Structure 1
């Protein structure tokens, strides 16, 4: 995992034309999305067809396996994040965008064809994790290949329990593969361009 320094990020939503600033504390983020090998024991392709709930359960199971305190308390259809836990968790969307930008201020951290698999260069298929150039902090596939689930609710007043997705995927056009783009989906969604990556509160 990569140590991500503290910082400040300005989030924006095109639908509501709203912007808001968030202070991000130091944390750790996996250099790659979770792969099929980590879930099923084979392959370097990113794990896909993984719901938000699947990702939460994976975080807790891996934490318990490694003797860490699970980050999530799951009670039926409700989940609470224990921010003081040292176990694995999903990044917040502010953490995700801060890590994706890696100190840059533009829409992307490099030329899109060098850093991301997207519709124009992917052959309309998923690719192995880490096949494109990482950002300045050593994080691969922050844009393209698979969307990453984040912890946050998208807009609970309008969309209820829908959670945030970030990063763009292998089937997306170039405009979806930008650091600021937000997408939403129901936490039970399973689809072939959505995965996740692990975070831990830090410094660890």
Structure 2
């Protein structure tokens, strides 16, 4: 499998919700593409020359990567593929060029829409069949793609590692904290649901947080 293996997603609409604030909102989505699985350790090393993960295995999802590291990976991968980078980086600031054809992090709306793959329940299948989480992981991550994908062919949308998303979580309360989605290998079942939102500082690294790439559809 390759992090460049992208699954096209048609335009659509997704309803998001936050349990903490009881806020609900709807997002209209343009067509986009999202990776079939999280970025692996080998893929990350091929692009960056680095192996930051706490666990060792080429086909394991890369983890212990910050949001900033994920953004820089996206730009470097874009350059290697001859695409225009999606992000303009300036010290502690980042701007998303929405006209660029390069790789980027999915928005949380794109992530949830892709995770659900047309389903409306908390998960796109029985948790033990689709995800590595606390009850079945042996307290470690597993090779990407080793659990059943959703109906759109996307693996590990729930469990294994949390996925960084582009979005700021709640600027008024948490400043620059970014959104995490999907649950990880150490999480209980209730965290591995399509609607669950978590937050963390963009410099934070831990052994159950990774990412997958997305790309805006050609116009």
TM-score by length of 1: 0.98
Match of 2:111 among 91, 96, 102: 96
Q: Find the counterpart in structure 1 of residue 75 from structure 2.
A: 60
Indicate if the aligned counterparts of 1:28 and 1:203 stay in contact, CA closer than 8 A.
no
Q: Which residue, 13, 20, 45 being the options, matches 1:15?
A: 20
Counterpart for residue 50 of structure 2: none
Which whole-Å deviations, capped at 9, do the CAs of 1:45-103 have from their partners, x for residues lacking one? 00000000000000000101111000000011000000010000000000000000000
CA distance in 1, matches of 2:12, 2:117: 10
The 5 Å alignment of 1:161-176 reads: 161-176=176-191
Q: Which residue of 2 aligns with 1:81?
A: 96
User: Displaced runs of 4+ in structure 1, greater than 2 A?
Assistant: none
Aligned mate of 1:141, from 156, 169, 176: 156
Between the two proteins, the alignment pairs up a number of residues equal to 204
Give the distance between the partners of 2:215 and 2:104, measured in 1 at CA: 6
Partner of 2:38: 33
How far apart in 1 are the matches of 2:114 and 2:141?
22
Q: Distance in 2 between matches of 1:46 and 1:172?
A: 16
> CA contact under 8 A between 2:101 and 2:218: conserved in structure 1?
no
Match of 2:166 in 1: 151
Aligned positions of 1:172-191 closer than 5 A: 172-191=187-206
Gaps of 5+ in 1: none
